[in-house]
Amino acid sequence: FDDGYSWFYEGVNGWWQYDDRTSRELETHHKAGHSSCELLIAGYVYIIDLTNMVQSRRNDRTKKRRVKRDLLNLTGRKGVAGLKIS
């Protein structure tokens, strides 16, 4: 985004950046002050809890990943939506 921030979800030993469309949707919900949202990601509906900053699949709430809004150019970013930075 223009202010240099984007959205990330937790992976092993680092953070993945959300794909652009999902990042924009998260930013819109965040700016609107919503406490959570449901988004279609790679064919699955995920619930992103913007209060506790975790995401999980709607039909399997057991696996939770932390999420964060952080500077886009942070070091340690693993890649974007599962695509590794080479």
Residues making contact with ligand V3L (CB under 6 A): 9, 11-12, 16, 18, 41-42, 57, 63, 65, 78, 81-82
Residue 45: other Cβ atoms inside 10 A: 11
Least distance from ligand V3L to the Cβ atom of residue 61, Å: 10
Nearer to ligand V3L, 40 or 71 (CB): 40
Residue with tokens 């695509």: 83
Q: CB–CB of 9/69 below 8 Å?
A: no
Q: 76 phi and psi, to 5 degrees?
A: 95, 0
Least distance from ligand V3L to the Cβ atom of residue 4, Å: 20
